[in-house]
Structures are given as structure tokens and as C-alpha cells.
């Protein structure tokens, strides 16, 4: 009798690892396959970058509170973020769509309005895709092609001991925005006459519904003459994504709790929801900020950039990835992110 292994016993990353172990690339122009934010293809003078992501109704989004226009924007932004995480520039996108018969033509127009705005914001062309019917709601799959100079590419596995650890923007807001939206949904379901209590929470709501890919920072790093020694985008949570860099680079890390960038509205939402803001910052995910390392020589070139926070440094102790707390103790960082 054949044995059956539940996918849940492996988890997402375990499943990816298992697939990767069975796949071998053979073409000379395939520079990197599974294991980074994007695949890397030799296209002559530059590297081509290819990434893909799916958004499934009921898994990745809830249309009770997610406007279709914002959903279209987010679908493009989170894929562009993967190109940014390779220090690349996005060029073309393909959008695949599966829709059930509860969606009207006007609803699809609204979705594509968001896609169109995102394509304009990130300077990419929508060049095709596939459409299909669906028996279980809406599914969006986006692929992005980008480019990067061969000497400018940033991988996950090239951080070095003594490199400085940086993150863009602020953390935890997207997760808390989701918690607020979920709470208001439950209130609405219990009493449809109740008005949502979201006043003053626009920032964290926006972080969830309409995230931005940090291409602005990629352009600013280039202007400053800085090439990150490693980089990843914060999709699964700072802790989880830092562990990817450490595991693949064979290094450890020290993160200073007091240096974690958290917006004031995120603090307020965390307090209201009785969630620790540091927990949200480390494990929330979906911030789509860039987590990257730079050499110490690069510090002077970007130390005054208000969009970048230096949160720690890398070490040669690959089994020690720790949070240096405000109380001066060191706590192991573990991945509590999404699966």
C-alpha cells in the first residue's frame, strides 16, 4: 500500500525544498533557478529576471473588505517587489485570471484599473496572459520579467560576516491592517448595521490593501553607488526572511530591537488589538519592504537616507540569529511567518 504524506507535514518551504531537490537545470543560460526571489537568466550583456506569484480568493484575500482595484494593484506590486529584491528593474508583466460567474464585466474592469495604475507607477508593460473560468472564486497569477546588470545583481546567499543589516520603510503595519479588517468583518457579520471603526487607521489599512514595491530605494541605491551584498523582500515576515538570508549565506545575525522601524499608527493598532508591536514587526509579513545587507564601506553612502534603517549586523556564527532586546538580553529569532 502506498504511503500518503500530508503537505502540511512539510510546510511551504519544505515542499519547495523537496521540489527543488528533484529538479535540475540543464541549460547554460539558466544562471539560477528555484531558491531566490526570482530566477536568473543570462541574456547577453545583462541578466534577465523572472518571477511569478498567485493570489487566491479565500487564501490570500477576502473580497468582503478588499476592493478589486486595490487587489489589481497589489497583484502587480508584490511581483515587482521580487524583481526589486534582486536589485533589478521590472519591464514586462503577464496576468493570468480565473473568474467565476459571480463576477461581472464591470468587476473585471475595476480589477484591471488597479493593474493599469500599478503598471504606470512601476513603469512596466502588461503584455499578455490567460483567462479561464473558475468554480471557486477569483484567482490571479502574475509573472514579471525584469533586468539587472550582471555586476549589480543581489542574491540571498551572498551576505558576509560584519555586513550591516538594513531594512526599508517600517514593519508590522500590513499584518495589523489585516487584523483590523478581519475584526470589522466579524462585527459586520454579527450586525450589518454597525459602521466599521477604522477612523485614524488609514495607514495600516493601506499597508495591507495597497502595498508598494520599493523600487524608489533601488533607484536611490544605484544613485548612491551601493550594491547590496544580499537582499530579499519582506513578504513572510522579517524573522522568516532574515533566516532565509542567514541559512543560504551561512552567516548569523544580531538584530537590535530598539532599531526596528515601527510606525506610530502600527504601535496604536497593536495596542488596540493586544498584539506586541515587535511581534508584528518580526512575524507579520506582507510589508514588502526590502531587507538587505551592505558592506561597512557603504554605510557612509546611505546613512542619511530616511527610507533606510540599519537594524543590525551579520556574524560568522551561523547558528546564532538573535534579537538584542532593550533589556540587553539576546533572544533567538525563529520564523513564525506564513505557510
| Residues 170, 207: Cα–Cα separation, whole Å | 10
Residues 85 and 211 in one domain: no
139: number of CA atoms within 13 Å, CB side?
Answer: 13
Residues 143 and 168 in one domain: no
Identify which of 167, 169, 298, 321 has the alpha carbon closest to the alpha carbon of residue 244: 321
| Residues 298, 164: Cα–Cα separation, whole Å | 9
Res 337 pLDDT > 60: no
Q: What is the mean pLDDT of residues 98-102?
A: 95
Residues 193 and 76 in one domain: no
Burial class (CB in 10 A: 0-12, 13-18, 19+), 272: middle
| Residues 176, 127: Cα–Cα separation, whole Å | 35
Check: CB of residue 171 under 8 Å from CB of residue 234: yes
Question: What SS3 state is found at 313?
Answer: strand
Residues 186 and 216 in one domain: yes
Residues 206 and 100 in one domain: no
Task: Tell me the pLDDT band of 198, cut-offs 50, 70 and 90.
Answer: confident
Domain assignment of residue 156, yes or no: no
Query: Quick one: which H or E segment has residue 269?
Result: helix 264-273
Res 339 pLDDT > 70: no
Domain assignment of residue 311, yes or no: yes
Burial 80-103 (b: 16+ CB within 10 A, else e): bbbbbbbbbbbbebbbbbbbeeeb
Residues 73 and 132 in one domain: yes
Which residue range is the domain that position 187 belongs to?
164-332
| Residues 7, 20: Cα–Cα separation, whole Å | 15
Paired with 103 in beta bridges are none
Which of 96, 121, 149 is where one domain is finished?
Answer: 149
Residues 295 and 178 in one domain: yes
Q: Looking at residue 1, what is its pLDDT?
A: 66
Task: Tell me the pLDDT band of 7, cut-offs 50, 70 and 90.
Answer: confident
How many domains are contained in the chain?
A: 2
User: pTM value?
Assistant: 0.94
Q: What is the mean pLDDT of residues 258-267?
A: 97
**Cβ within 8 Å of residue 219, ≥6 positions away:** none
Other beta carbons within 10 angstroms of residue 125's beta carbon come to: 11
Q: Which CATH number does the domain housing residue 47 bear?
A: 3.30.1330.10
Q: What is the mean pLDDT of residues 277-281?
A: 96
Domain assignment of residue 186, yes or no: yes
Residues 14 and 121 in one domain: yes
**Cβ within 8 Å of residue 207, ≥6 positions away:** 173, 174, 177, 286, 287
pLDDT tens, position by position, 10-47: 877 778 788 878 888 889 999 999 889 999 999 999 99
Which of 103, 118, 149 is where one domain is finished?
Answer: 149
Residues 142 and 168 in one domain: no
Check: CB of residue 239 under 8 Å from CB of residue 279: no
| Residues 106, 302: Cα–Cα separation, whole Å | 46
Identify which of 285, 335, 289 has the alpha carbon closest to the alpha carbon of residue 60: 285
Residues 170 and 203 in one domain: yes
Burial 12-46 (b: 16+ CB within 10 A, else e): ebeeeeeeeeeeeeeeeeebbeeebbbbbbeeeeb
Burial class (CB in 10 A: 0-12, 13-18, 19+), 198: middle
C-alpha cell, 253: 545575525
Domain assignment of residue 42, yes or no: yes
Task: Tell me the pLDDT band of 287, cut-offs 50, 70 and 90.
Answer: very high
Q: Which CATH number does the domain housing residue 225 bear?
A: 3.90.650.10
Domain assignment of residue 2, yes or no: no
Domain assignment of residue 337, yes or no: no
Residues 145 and 171 in one domain: no
Other beta carbons within 10 angstroms of residue 176's beta carbon come to: 30
Domain assignment of residue 202, yes or no: yes
Domain assignment of residue 239, yes or no: yes
Which of 91, 121, 149 is where one domain is finished?
Answer: 149
Residues 212 and 136 in one domain: no
pLDDT tens, position by position, 127-183: 999 999 999 899 999 999 999 999 999 999 999 999 999 999 999 999 999 999 999
| Residues 154, 293: Cα–Cα separation, whole Å | 10
Amino acid at each position: 500500500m502506498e504511503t500518503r504524506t500530508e503537505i502540511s507535514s512539510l510546510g511551504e518551504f519544505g515542499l519547495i525544498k523537496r521540489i527543488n531537490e528533484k529538479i535540475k537545470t540543464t541549460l547554460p543560460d539558466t544562471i539560477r533557478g528555484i531558491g531566490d526571489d526570482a530566477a536568473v537568466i543570462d541574456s547577453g550583456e545583462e541578466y534577465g529576471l523572472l518571477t511569478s506569484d498567485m493570489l487566491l480568493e479565500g487564501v490570500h484575500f477576502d473580497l468582503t473588505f478588499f476592493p478589486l482595484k486595490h487587489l489589481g494593484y497589489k497583484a502587480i506590486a508584490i511581483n515587482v517587489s521580487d524583481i526589486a529584491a534582486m536589485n533589478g528593474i521590472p519591464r514586462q508583466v503577464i496576468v493570468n485570471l480565473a473568474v467565476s460567474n459571480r463576477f461581472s464585466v464591470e468587476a473585471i474592469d475595476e480589477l484591471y484599473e488597479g493593474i493599469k495604475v500599478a503598471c504606470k507607477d512601476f513603469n512596466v508593460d502588461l503584455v499578455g496572459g490567460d483567462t479561464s473560468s473558475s468554480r471557486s472564486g477569483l484567482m490571479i497569477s502574475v509573472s514579471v520579467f525584469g533586468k539587472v546588470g550582471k555586476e549589480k545583481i543581489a542574491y540571498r546567499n551572498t551576505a558576509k560576516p560584519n555586513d550591516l543589516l538594513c531594512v526599508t520603510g517600517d514593519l508590522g503595519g500590513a499584518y495589523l491592517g489585516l487584523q483590523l479588517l478581519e475584526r470589522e468583518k466579524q462585527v459586520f457579520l454579527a450586525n450589518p448595521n454597525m459602521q466599521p471603526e477604522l477612523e485614524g487607521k488609514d495607514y495600516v489599512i493601506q499597508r495591507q490593501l495597497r502595498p508598494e514595491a520599493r523600487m524608489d530605494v533601488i533607484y536611490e541605491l544605484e544613485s548612491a553607488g551601493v550594491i547590496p551584498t544580499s537582499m530579499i523582500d519582506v513578504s513572510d515576515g522579517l524573522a522568516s526572511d532574515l533566516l532565509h538570508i542567514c541559512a543560504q549565506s551561512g552567516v548569523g545575525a544580531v538584530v537590535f530591537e530598539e532599531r526596528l522601524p515601527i510606525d506610530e499608527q502600527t504601535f496604536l493598532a497593536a495596542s488596540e488589538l493586544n498584539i506586541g508591536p515587535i511581534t508584528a514587526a518580526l512575524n507579520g509579513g506582507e510589508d514588502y519592504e526590502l531587507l538587505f545587507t551592505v558592506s561597512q564601506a557603504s554605510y557612509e553612502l546611505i546613512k542619511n537616507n530616511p527610507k533606510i534603517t540599519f537594524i543590525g549586523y551579520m556574524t560568522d556564527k551561523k547558528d546564532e540569529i538573535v534579537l538584542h532586546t532593550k533589556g540587553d538580553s539576546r533572544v533567538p529569532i525563529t520564523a513564525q511567518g506564513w505557510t
